[in-house]
């Protein structure tokens, strides 16, 4: 669940800013972001909903869903042995979703390096921030459909048994050898040309991010520090504050 909660925060902030718009369900007035291809595999909504329900009993209409996403991502990192950081609070929630903005603002598993660099640059994030945030893939699992093409064009026989050429799209494979632990094995894998997704391996493919990947593969502490700093920067993307937006009573629907 740690990987899922960090991913939810990322998918929120990269689409119209950190406003919890990605948590809204379809309604008569809202077309949800959840049905967009990059979001259909997101998980952890029930954790955010449970946290919101408890907070509403203690301090109603005070803590936004956007802030809960940010805090949950921080706590998920720390729970898995990764860094913690001071989370800026005071975000408010969107009253609308932005499904038409999802495809152009979230990376795909087969994006090349320049696309990734340009996408993050548009958000004010550097290549180092991008590589550090990609390191969240040290946690969790990936479905077969996201890496099948890569493993059936090389000698990854063990992976091919788990992910056949036909079928098994939802079969899951660990992103690195310690999928429940926040460490730098993700970068060790990439240096050894064992990145699972294309977007993983392109970080070490003769381009401008090679030196950053090598640095993180050799220094877990540098990776942890940069990851925390990049998460803080990401959490600053276009937050709603002051009188903008609202503090939703439930995270899946705007207040009536």
- pLDDT tens-digit profile of 176-207? 789 889 999 999 999 999 888 889 999 999 99
Of the candidates 76, 28, 19, the residue with the CA atom closest to the CA atom of residue 51: 76
pTM: 0.90
Q: Tell whether the model's pLDDT for residue 36 goes beyond 90.
A: yes
Residues 227 and 117 occupy one common structural domain: yes
Given a contact cutoff of 8 angstroms between Cβ atoms, the answer to whether 138 and 184 are in contact is: yes
CATH code, 71: 1.10.520.10
How many domains in the chain? Answer: 2
- Tell me how far apart the alpha carbons of residues 164 and 104 are, in angstroms, rounded to a whole number: 30
pLDDT digits (tens, 9 = 90+) for 17-30: 999 999 999 999 99
The answer to whether residues 137 and 174 touch, using CB atoms and an 8 Å cutoff, is no
CA angle centred on 53, ends 254 and 74, rounded to 5°: 95
Query: Per the domain annotation, does 245 fall within a domain?
Result: no
Determine, yes or no, domain membership for 35: yes
Asked if residue 228 belongs to a domain, the reply is: yes
Q: Is 246 helix (H, G, I), strand (E, B) or coil?
A: strand
- Is 107 labeled as ligand-binding? yes
**Residue 99 sits in the same domain as residue 119:** no
pLDDT-wise least confident of 15-24, 153-162, 173-182: 153-162
Same-domain check for residues 179 and 98: no
Which residues have a catalytic role annotated? 11
Residue 160's pLDDT band (boundaries 50, 70, 90)? low
Domain around 186: 113-232
Domain end (from 49, 84, 106): 106
Q: Does the annotation flag 9 for ligand binding?
A: no
pLDDT in tens, 45-64: 999 999 999 999 999 999 99
209 is in an annotated binding site: no
Report whether 15 belongs to an annotated binding site.
yes
Q: Is position 12 annotated in a ligand binding site?
A: yes
User: Are both 123 and 221 inside the same structural domain?
Assistant: yes
- Residue 144, pLDDT above cutoff 90: no
**Burial class of 130 by CB neighbour count within 10 A (0 to 12, 13 to 18, 19+):** buried
């Amino acid at each position: 669940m740690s990987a899922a909660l960090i991913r939810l925060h990322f998918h929120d902030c990269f689409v119209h800013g950190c406003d919890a718009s990605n948590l809204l369900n379809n309604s008569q007035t809202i077309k949800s972001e959840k049905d967009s291809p990059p979001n259909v595999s997101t998980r952890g909504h029930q954790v955010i909903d449970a946290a919101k329900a408890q907070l509403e009993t203690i301090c109603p209409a005070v803590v936004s869903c956007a802030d809960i996403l940010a805090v949950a991502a921080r706590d998920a990192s720390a729970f898995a042995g990764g860094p913690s950081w001071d989370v800026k609070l005071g975000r408010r929630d969107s009253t609308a979703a932005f499904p038409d903005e999802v495809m152009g603002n979230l990376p795909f598993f087969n994006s090349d390096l320049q696309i990734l660099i340009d996408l993050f640059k548009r958000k004010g994030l550097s290549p180092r921030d991008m590589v550090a945030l990609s390191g969240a893939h040290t946690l969790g699992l990936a479905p077969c459909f996201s890496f099948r093409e890569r493993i059936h064009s090389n000698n990854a026989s063990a992976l091919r048994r788990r992910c056949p050429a036909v079928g098994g799209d939802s079969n899951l494979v660990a992103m690195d050898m310690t999928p429940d632990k926040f460490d730098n094995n993700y970068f060790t894998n990439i240096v050894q040309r064992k990145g699972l997704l294309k977007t993983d391996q392109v970080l070490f493919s003769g381009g401008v991010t090679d030196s950053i990947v090598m640095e993180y593969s050799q220094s877990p502490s540098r990776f942890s520090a940069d990851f925390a700093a990049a998460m803080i920067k990401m959490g600053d993307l276009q937050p709603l504050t002051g009188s903008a937006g609202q503090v939703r009573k439930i995270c899946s629907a705007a207040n009536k």
